[in-house]
Amino acid sequence: MPYRKAVFILAYTRNKKDIEYLLLKRKLHWEGWEFPKGAIKFLETKKNAVKRELKEETGLYPIKIKKFDYSGKYEYEKKIPDRPRFKGQSFVLYAVEVKKPFNRKVKISEIEHSDYKWVNYPKAIKLLRWPNQKESLKIVNDFLKQKALAS
């Protein structure tokens, strides 16, 4: 059985003191905190999948998009009824800078998620459940911190 092709999207915003990451509370297929992610549609570019999934899951638009040289795959813990042809998912990592919506809420996809929160790196790393998502967060955070030091 094949793997479903997807993008991991680490959405972040900068404030005067720190970087905050957007986490979504998953309720479809499993429960816990994650960042936006989703399937790449047939004939869709990865970058367009990032933009579409970010909009669908959060209502936000990217200011900057950066692709990272990190990818992987994982198998689903159980059969997923709306994905019967797939045994798991493969992914490519992207970081997306967004403006934190101070005047409106993040518009979460209520089918997939029940809540959201903006958190700093230490809190995000504790909330994420899956090792590949923790590694993705570490890669992006290290990059952003290094970039900040170089500025």
Distances, alpha carbon 107 to alpha carbons 57, 59, 89, 91, 113, in Å: 7, 5, 25, 24, 10
pLDDT at residue 140, rounded to an integer = 97
Q: What's the structural domain count of the chain?
A: 1
The CATH number covering residue 83 comes to 3.90.79.10
Q: Structural domain of residue 59, as residue ranges?
A: 3-150
pLDDT in tens, 90-123: 999 999 999 876 655 788 877 777 899 999 999 9
What letter represents residue 140's amino acid? V
Q: Which range, of 30-39, 62-71, 112-121, averages the lowest pLDDT?
A: 30-39
Per the prediction, the chain carries an average pLDDT of 87
Backbone angles phi, psi at 54, to 5 degrees: -60, -45
Q: Which range scores top for mean pLDDT: 11-15, 127-131, 134-138?
A: 134-138
